[in-house]
Amino acid sequence: MAQLFTYIVHKGGLVDDTAAELALAAQKIGSGASVTAIVTGTGADLDAVCQQASKFYSQIWKFDHADLAYPNAEAIRKLLVQLLPSDGIFLLPHDTFGMDLGPGLAVKLKSAYTADIIGIDAVEEGNLKIVRQEFAGMAYTHVSVDISDGVVLTFRPGSFQSEGQGAVNGQIVDKSSEIGELNVNRRFIEIVEAETGDVDITKADVLVSIGRGIEDQDNVEVAEELAEAMGAVVACSRPIVDAKWLEKSRQVGTSGQTVKPKVYMALGISGSFQHMGGIKGSPFIVAVNKNAKAPIFQVADVGIVEDMLEFMPELTEKIESA
Amino acid sequence: MEILVCVKRVPDTAENEIEINSDGTDIDRDDLVYSVNEWDNYAVEEAIQIRDKVGGTVTVVTVGDDESEEVLRREMAMGADKGILLSDGAFEGSDGFGIASILKAAAGKGNYDLILTGAQADDGAAQIGGMLAAMLDRPYASLVNSIEVVDDKTMKIGREIEGGNQEMSEIQMPCVLSIQTGINEPRYVGIRGIRKVASVDIPVHGAADLAVDASAAGSAGAKVKRLDYFVPELGEGAEMLEGGMEEKIDKLVELLKAKGGLK
């Protein structure tokens, strides 16, 4: 079995949840073989992250360098190309960093690449059979990956979760002296924080969340009326913000807000993993969608196959008349 | 500025219920509504806006079959100057690496300062832009949601990262960027616009023209192969409320009351 490596995403001195998830995925592929976690950064935060990662991995390679203070995919790719064996198995989260790094890294390593994996079906000599989705989560597929010349794999955050992990106490090895040239043609400047809007949807107990099914800007008002009748707050999925019908601060999802309501009404929302990734705390989820095949019905508690545009005013009327 | 935008014709997931065919070899493609991949449409709009500011040309390119020509014409109706179709039976079964290799060969026939792709397409892999950039040895940024041309050699770009935050960077040209939705508001294309470009010649290049061999593209060169489509055994999923509209609403109101969903 080729050597297994993962990349640890971290922020503010804390490891991302994907550190534990990738450890589990790597164990599944390597059936218990030793896995090396690669941690890049600088200073005290980096040491803290290495400590946390050592709970999940038998070996941590620490790379401390001022040029790695911010995880610039171009610099990290240079480092990894210097470092990784040509037949290695390298695991990354399928997040905004993994998407930035993974495809180009695979090309430079002359390895295979497979993205957004949600399951591992079979591990054979030089070959993996994995599970992923296509068509916005509406179709599942098995994919065979030839890993004989190495492979870069990205895993959907949240797909591999287990309890009872985190007692490995791995060894932290400082590999900073092995860092070579890290010059980049894409230079990080700054992070611009998301603007806060008029309403804080992260504080709401009940959210009426609208998606593409709203069809027209004029219909947003109908959702607002329903929310008012329910004592709820209006939130939305990404297409509504892309269309500029609601502010970015109303968007639920990994690229928007993370919400923890008691009740989440998803109206005309298909339920992409990026959207569902923004819903925490196991709320009671009601999905209304005219497409009976919409992935949202797999994760909702209650589902209703109806056109939200017909459904909303009827529900508003019923609540108001009660 | 010479700009190349890579686009793809895909089933429109907003318009279709995707079903798997009886033997699991493909989705059921009868009666599907196809359109240009949503992310690509934003990329083309961005390219047109950049060209209108600084001059140059916008070329749209796709790897596909004869039917893919319609998305090139649609994007030309938006304002792209040229279209190129990359089509050959030998391209069938290509994995992401294969598609990027074909696009690399096409990019090599021009002198592009900027290459744009959509951040992802129907297979959700989000891989072509990053692969293409690495093959061309050019800097790359994914999920780009703002572009400002600073000078002939430099752009200031924003990437959409977690939590609605934006990562700002300076990138050297020539470069490759993958474009996130919401970066702009793509213009509407009417039937009249499409008619205007209906007779414009769209060159077609095959494997021989591009000097792409079977080890780089097509099923023989693919390390990544889709084996099937399937319907997973999922949990029970949602409790589906049945009956007429009124019945469903009555049941829902009871549930909402019980769960604290009504004030």
Q: pLDDT digit string (tens) for B211-230?
A: 998 889 999 999 999 999 99
- Partner-chain residue, chosen from A141, A189, A305, that has the shortest CB–CB distance to B228: A141
Domains of chain B (ranges plus CATH)? Answer: 2-221 (3.40.50.620)
State the pLDDT confidence band at A236, using cuts at 50, 70 and 90.
very high
* Residue B14 pLDDT greater than 90, yes or no: no
Query: Average pLDDT of B229-251?
Result: 90
Q: What is the pTM of this model?
A: 0.94
Q: State chain B's mean pLDDT as an integer.
A: 95
- Partner-chain residue, chosen from B134, B156, B246, that has the shortest CB–CB distance to A107: B134
DSSP per-residue letters across A194-248: PPP-SS-GGG-SEEEEE-GGG-SGGGHHHHHHHHHHHT-EEEE-HHHHHTTSS-G
* Residue B191 pLDDT greater than 80, yes or no: yes
Query: Average pLDDT of A248-256?
Result: 94
Output DSSP code: residue B180.
P
- What ipTM, to 2 d.p.? 0.95
Which residues sit opposite B83 in a β-bridge? Answer: B60
Residues in chain A within 8 Å Cβ distance of B122 = 134-136
To the nearest whole Å, the CA of B50 is away from the closest chain A CA by: 19
Q: Say if residues B90 and B214 touch (Cβ distance below 8 Å).
A: yes
What pLDDT does A165 receive? Answer: 61
Pick from A120, A159, A99, A147: nearest CA to A29: A120
* Residue A154 pLDDT greater than 90, yes or no: yes
Count CB atoms within 10 A of the CB of residue A121: 12
Residue A275 has, within 13 A of its CA and on its CB side, a CA count of 27
Query: Average pLDDT of A204-227?
Result: 97
Whole-number percent of chain B with pLDDT over 90: 89
CA atoms of A82 and A265, how far apart (whole Å):
49
What pLDDT does A195 receive? Answer: 83
What pLDDT does A53 receive? Answer: 96
Q: Say if residues A50 and A42 touch (Cβ distance below 8 Å).
A: no
Chain B residue nearest residue A295, CA to CA = B237
To the nearest whole Å, the CA of A91 is away from the closest chain B CA by: 15
- Alpha-carbon separation of residue B109 from A4, A123, A245, B106, B153 (angstroms): 39, 41, 41, 5, 21
Domains of chain A (ranges plus CATH)? Answer: 4-178 (3.40.50.620), 201-321 (3.40.50.1220)
What pLDDT does B17 receive? Answer: 84
Q: Say if residues A138 and A295 touch (Cβ distance below 8 Å).
A: yes
* Residue A322 pLDDT greater than 90, yes or no: no
Q: Say if residues B229 and B27 touch (Cβ distance below 8 Å).
A: yes
CB contact under 8 Å between A239 and B227, yes or no, is no
- Alpha-carbon separation of residue B170 from A101, A195, B167 (angstroms): 17, 22, 10
| A31 burial level (CB within 10 Å; 0-12, 13-18, 19+) | exposed
The single-letter code of the amino acid at B210 is L
